[in-house]
Amino acid sequence: MKCLRRGNLALSIAVVLHLATPVQALEVKADQIQDPDRFLLWYRNYDSPPVRALVKLAFEKTPEYGPYTLARSTEMSQGRAIRELKNPESDLLDIINVASDSRREKELSAIPIPIDGGLLGLRVCVVRKDDLKKFEGIKTIQDLSRRDIRIGQGTHWPDTSILKVNGVQVVTHSRYEILFRMLDNDRFDCFARGVSEVLYDLRLENNPEYVVEPGVLIAYPMPSFFFVSRDDFDAAHRLQLGMERAILDGSFANYLDRYYGQAIEELNLGERNVLVLDNPFLGQESWDIGQRTLQELRERIEQMRE
């Protein structure tokens, strides 16, 4: 685990050093602080212990901004959450963590530090036990098509476009929860989930018929960022400064190890066939970050095989 921690720390620092303009803390005097700032985190992020923990870590590293409270947003699809965050008149959402793409980066403010070290771009398949044989011997993306394997994804997730442009059959729905019911009903064969999230998903579902397919790892550069509205400068500054401080003092590396180290080991990434996909939907900065983090992760997977 010590090697994993050092690798994540080196990766995290490299990402921060790539940022063109370091964030400066806003000066906030004690007599200016009144009620705690209240931040609404998208409900799926709030319900995810790693994401919620990282928001709290960033805020705790920036005490000069004053006290805060973190609350759960109303339940809404990812597409609607993005729309609410873009709407200056909406007060339903303040922070969301989702995969990045060029459109989101233009319409919202991204904090360009991958919250999971790039693991969201590494995908494994949640399948029904009876379907495991469909995946035996798959070595290329073309094998997925030849076997008529359908992958389930969210309608508004960037993954959907990435998979389609690489020739993969995709079945979608706007609600994450419904996708598991669609898997039950044989609407698709693989629910592709990020390495950083799949074990948590399965614990929540608690369905003995679901297993993680053991042989395939789908990989593409797709950093997962925090996003806030374009005019929410305080939240953007606070999140980025807090994460930078956490990286420099080592607490971000501890966070990665605590929440994602187990997944890297349990999913046996070094034993899988890696299917690398192109992602043409990233902005230049995110493409650079995504490529670098994906390369780092692939090198670590290769080391596991030695």
Q: What's the average model confidence in pLDDT over 177-187? A: 95
Q: Dihedral of CA 15/20/22/23: which sign?
A: negative
Largest CA distance in the chain: 67
pLDDT digits (tens, 9 = 90+) for 92-150: 999 999 999 999 999 999 999 999 988 888 999 999 999 999 999 999 999 999 999 99
Average pLDDT, the chain: 86
Mean pLDDT (whole number) for 46-71: 96
Of 21 and 117, the structure prediction assigns the larger pLDDT to 117
Q: Calculate mean pLDDT across residues 270-293.
A: 86
SS (H, E, C) 32-99: HCCCCEEEEECHHHHCCHHHHHHHHHHHHCCHHHCCEEEEECCCCCHHHHHHHHHCCCCCCCCEEEEE
Residue 206 has pLDDT above 90, yes or no: yes
Residues 145-171: tens digit of each pLDDT: 999 999 999 998 999 999 999 999 999
DSSP run (H or E) holding 169: strand 169-173
Instruction: Please report the domains of the chain, with CATH numbers, ordered by start residue.
Output: 2-115+224-268 (3.40.190.10)
CA angle 280, 286, 290 (to 5 degrees): 80
Tell which wins on pLDDT, 32 or 90: 90
Spatial separation of the C-alpha atoms in residues 109 and 235, rounded to whole Å = 10
Least reliable range by pLDDT among 9-13, 81-85, 156-160: 9-13
d(CA 230, CA 218): 32
Whole-model pTM: value is 0.78
